[in-house]
Copies of this chain bind each other. A is one copy, B any other.
Amino acid sequence: MGFFDDLQDRIEKVDSVVSVGLDADLDRIPEHLRDEDLPRWAFNRRIIDATHEHAAAYKPNAAFYEDEDGWRSLRETIAYAHGKDVPVLLDAKRADIGNTTRQYANLLDDADAITVNPYMGRDSIQPFLAREDKGVFVLCRTSNPGSADLQSLELASGEPLYERVAALCDLWNENDNVGLVVGATGPEELEDLREQVPDLPFLVPGVGAQGGDAEAAVEYGLADGVGLVNSSRGIIFAGEDQGEHFDKAAGQAAKRLKERLNQYR
């Protein structure tokens, strides 16, 4: 079973395409958890308990775990999510050359899928692609303002760079394990890309804190019903002002997003 088969099962089981972004920013973790041995893990555990019934996947962003305690917290978090039968997509945006990118691919020993950056080309992500049972989401069209700097550049062949990236990813999808990261901030781009690569599931960030279009995210983000729409801060910090009851608000926010997205499925 590949990652996207597992994801499909999960989506059907919980009737949800919500990815919950575990961006466990130490500065925003509730006061009462900061004295714990591993505050990020303590936070994530409560978030997982409160949201897993609505989560198709968890998406920890590696940026929030890049220190000694961070890696311990991340490993505990992944194991705990697995205990709840929820796949974990590590948002790492990695890629490098030869022996180095093989090293990065070890991040997939724990996680079920990863995000990677295409700028260095196919061999830079090959060790990820080669893991047949794991998912590889390649950055294609991101949702930040500066994404136009490179991604929208018009090629001599007439299409913008990000469309070429989508076409390359379609070629690189020999193991049926490739997806694309496509922001919800450009609904017409989502539509065009879905038409161009009908088989690649999308991970759509930018719904929630970034204010993207939920309808387009669902209508075009899913390939045969499989794909993910992510919200991070909009879920995990929904109860930021509610002290020890922060997790209840997170659970409600995940449920609301699930229901909002399910209107369009």
* Interface locus among A4-12, A43-51, A88-96, A253-261: A88-96
| Residues of chain B contacted by A155 (CB below 8 angstroms) | 153-156
Asked whether A143 is an interface residue with its Cβ less than 8 Å from the other chain, the reply is: yes
A63–B100 CB distance below 8 A: yes
Interface residues of A (CB under 8 A from B): 23, 25, 61, 63-64, 66-72, 93-101, 103-104, 106-107, 117-124, 126, 139, 142-151, 153-158, 161, 164-165, 168, 205, 233
Least CB distance, A208 to chain B, in whole angstroms:
13
| Residues of chain B contacted by A97 (CB below 8 angstroms) | 142-144, 205
CA distance A71 to B65 in the complex (A): 11
Least CB distance, A230 to chain B, in whole angstroms:
12
CA distance A161 to B154 in the complex (A): 10
Among A67, A107, A233, residue most surrounded by chain B Cβ atoms (within 10 Å): A67
B25–A121 CB distance below 8 A: no
Which residue of the partner chain, among B98, B143, B145, B153, contacts A144 with CB atoms under 8 Å? B98
| Residues of chain B contacted by A122 (CB below 8 angstroms) | 146, 149
Least CB distance, A160 to chain B, in whole angstroms:
10
